[in-house]
Amino acid sequence: MSRPQSPLQALLPQSDDRLAFLKGFIRQPKDVGSVIPSSRFLERRMVEAARLERAESVVELGPGTGGTTRAILRALPGHATLLAIELDPMFVDHVRSIEDSRLFVHQGSAEHIAEALRVHRLRPPQAILSGIPFSTMPESVGRSIIEAVRNVLAPGGCFVAYQFRGAVARLARPILGEPESSLEVVNVPPMRVYRWTV
């Protein structure tokens, strides 16, 4: 008989995901932005903010070890597609181990969303979700990613980003306008979730 989880254990992702995430953080701390993956509470808040239940095409930027990817897949309709774009080859291999025919994994920069959609022959997304750390990248790269998001979103689509710091909101205001925002405190560290609709 298994022992019940403590509140802290319930908050944390699976141990193999934590280890892979920690290794990624040690190798490329500026690209990962945290020492552990997102909590299931943050994953749920992201999925709810993106309103995925009617989406046909979704993009995830920076899936890391795939915790949020799995949460997105659970929320998506059976006919939908999810394109996960990841720069780190170790994380790419981790996410490719997820067995779901709706999932397409692309190794590359989030600046090139349009190209990744073309390569995989996917439709313009109704939602783009992002956990990449805008606060640790050059501002020119951050602006380029946000412009790429704006350029590929389907009409009425949304961009949802979860961040420890507010760099994404500052960079996105001139491009996407003022975001809606909420704070998820049941995460290590607490994260702010931003949402824009185009």
pLDDT at 24 over 50: no
- φ/ψ region of 33 (left if φ > 0, alpha if ψ in -120 to 50, else beta) reads left
Give the pLDDT of residue 25: 46
Q: Quick check: 177 and 143 in contact, CB under 8 A?
A: no
- Over range 4-19, report the average pLDDT: 45
Confidence band, pLDDT 50/70/90 cuts, at residue 32: very low
- Over range 108-115, report the average pLDDT: 98
Confidence band, pLDDT 50/70/90 cuts, at residue 36: low
The full set of domain ranges for the chain reads 7-197
pLDDT at 114 over 50: yes
- Over range 50-58, report the average pLDDT: 95
pTM value is 0.82
Share of the chain above pLDDT 70, in %: 81
What pLDDT, in 10s, does the model give residues 155-187?
Answer: 999 999 999 899 999 999 999 999 999 999 988
Looking at domain 7-197, its CATH class is alpha beta
Give the pLDDT of residue 9: 42
The residues, any chain, with a CB within 8 Å of residue 148's CB and separated by 6 or more, are 110, 111, 112, 113, 114
Q: Cα dist. 59→8, 145, 167 in Å?
A: 30, 13, 21
| Mean pLDDT, all residues of the chain | 86
Nearest of 133, 154, 163, 157 to residue 145 by alpha carbon: 133
- Over range 186-195, report the average pLDDT: 90
What pLDDT, in 10s, does the model give residues 60-76?
Answer: 999 999 999 999 999 99
- Higher-scoring residue by pLDDT: 65, 111: 111
- Higher-scoring residue by pLDDT: 80, 4: 80
Give the pLDDT of residue 40: 87
Give the pLDDT of residue 58: 98
Confidence band, pLDDT 50/70/90 cuts, at residue 38: confident
